[in-house]
Amino acid sequence: MIKRIEATPEAIELIKILKEKHGELMFYQAGGCCEGTQPQCFEKGGYYQRTGDVCIGIIEDTEFWVDKDLFEYWKHAHFTLKVIDAFGVGGFSLETPLKKTFQIEYRIFTEDEEKDLEEVKIFE
């Protein structure tokens, strides 16, 4: 099965640091006005998904949720979670005090990959 999301070693290390401080985490990527399309990291349950939102995968035991409309637009793309030294838009994400920002790089799946994608979970 082809994963829909993966993370760089730097992103995985930051997730581990945040988990030590905050416990279980979750990611949510909305595509709205405040956060743009920047992924946000919250304590698990710290953000309420909407009906139809999509969990595209799990990184370090942390679910990565995407807004249902954003998923519809990007469902043919592989996400790579990375981290950069920057102050993110809005400052809501847990990495902000560390002067880090999670970021996504996208690439389109090949035809062969599309045939073997991991299933997603829909929030009901």
- The three-class DSSP label of residue 56 is strand
Report the SS3 class of residue 69. Answer: helix
Q: Cβ(4)–Cβ(57) under 8 Å?
A: yes
CB 87 within 8 A of CB 99: yes
Query: Does the model's pTM come out above 0.85?
Result: yes
What's the CA gap between 123 and 15, in Å, rounded? Answer: 23
Q: Given this model, what pLDDT does residue 49 score?
A: 92
Structural domains of the chain in order of their starting residue, each with its CATH number = 5-112 (2.60.300)
User: How do residues 1-58 score in pLDDT, each as one tens digit?
Assistant: 999 999 999 999 999 999 999 999 999 998 766 555 689 999 999 999 999 999 999 9
User: What is the identity of the amino acid at 35?
Assistant: E
Query: CA-CA distance, 22 to 117, in Å (whole number)?
Result: 31
Q: 59: closest CA among 24, 89, 107?
A: 24
What is the per-residue pLDDT across 68-110, written as a single tens digit (0 to 9) for each? 999 999 999 999 999 999 887 667 899 999 999 999 999 999 9
Residue listed under structure tokens 């399309």? 37
Report the Cα 106 to chain-centroid distance in Å.
12
Nearest-CA neighbor of 88 among 100, 98, 77?
100
